[in-house]
């Protein structure tokens, strides 16, 4: 994969438990270990699941919370969490930005501005987002050029998808026309299950080419699943830029 063009990927879904955090980590590990790329993980969810999963202590250190509120720079907050992978951690204090942003004129672009000094240091930036369509998710989409929507492969998979896709369309039209690649990623797929096969068939029927061929299987080889996803993203990028 060429490192000449940097990519910022936001993982978004207004539902919890769909695999946003797991996918953020899986993507980062494949990009760093297999492709030997520099990856920045950004925890933009006040629940700080990504920060906790990577076992990063948040006490007495500057966090994304501070960057978003103008109290620190992104460089001051970086934590190395693996070979080729850094994290911009957060805490529950990130909720303060949602409240404070109401009075900001440029509130949708704060995360983009925070990340700008780091862009040239990484081949990929991967942003984990809250289970909501609030200001933090708006900021993640404003900072990204690619979007992955993890979609749990069950009966309620499509619940809220029309709202989410409409939300993304509005972001593209009004804030970030560079958000040019959208991929639906089926997660929690049970291999060999007729139920899962039926749900996947319905998801592909409704969303067509948006749905990735790669799926994240329950109990399968997770690294292999994310390797296939990265290969697919590479192919999609090639077609987009021809």
Average pLDDT over all residues of the chain: 92
Band (241; pLDDT cuts 50, 70, 90): low
Residue 8: partners with Cβ closer than 8 Å, 6 or more residues away = 115, 119, 124, 125, 126, 127, 143, 144, 145, 146
CB 93 within 8 A of CB 69: no
Strand order, beta sheet including 79-82: 79-82, 85-88, 39-43, 124-128, 7-11, 146-152, 181-187
Per-residue pLDDT averaged across 159-185, rounded?
93
* Residue 137 pLDDT > 80: yes
CATH number 3.40.50.300 given to 7-240? yes
**pLDDT tens string 27-56:** 999 999 999 999 999 999 999 999 999 999
- What pTM, to 2 d.p., does this model score? 0.95
Percent of the chain predicted with pLDDT > 90: 78
């Amino acid at each position: 994969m060429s490192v000449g063009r940097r990519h910022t990927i936001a993982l978004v879904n207004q539902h919890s438990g769909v695999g946003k955090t797991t996918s953020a980590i899986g993507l980062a590990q494949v990009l760093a270990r297999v492709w030997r790329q520099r990856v920045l993980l950004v925890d933009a969810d006040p629940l700080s699941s990504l920060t906790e999963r990577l076992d990063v202590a948040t006490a007495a250190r500057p966090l994304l919370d501070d960057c978003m509120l103008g109290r620190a720079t992104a460089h001051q907050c970086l934590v190395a969490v693996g070979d080729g992978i850094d994290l911009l951690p957060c805490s529950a204090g990130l909720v303060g930005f949602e409240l404070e942003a109401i009075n900001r004129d440029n509130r949708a672009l704060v995360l983009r501005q925070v990340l700008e000094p780091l862009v040239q240091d990484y081949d990929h930036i991967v942003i984990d987002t809250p289970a909501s369509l609030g200001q933090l998710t708006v900021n993640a989409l404003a900072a990204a050029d690619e979007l992955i929507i993890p979609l749990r492969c069950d009966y309620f998979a499509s619940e809220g998808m029309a709202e989410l896709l409409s939300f993304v369309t509005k972001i593209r039209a009004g804030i970030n026309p560079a958000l040019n690649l959208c991929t639906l990623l089926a997660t929690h797929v049970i291999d060999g299950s007729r139920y899962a096969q039926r749900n996947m068939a319905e998801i592909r029927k409704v969303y067509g080419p948006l749905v990735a061929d790669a799926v994240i299987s329950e109990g399968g080889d997770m690294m292999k699943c994310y390797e296939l996803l990265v290969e697919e993203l590479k192919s999609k990028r090639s077609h987009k830029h021809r």
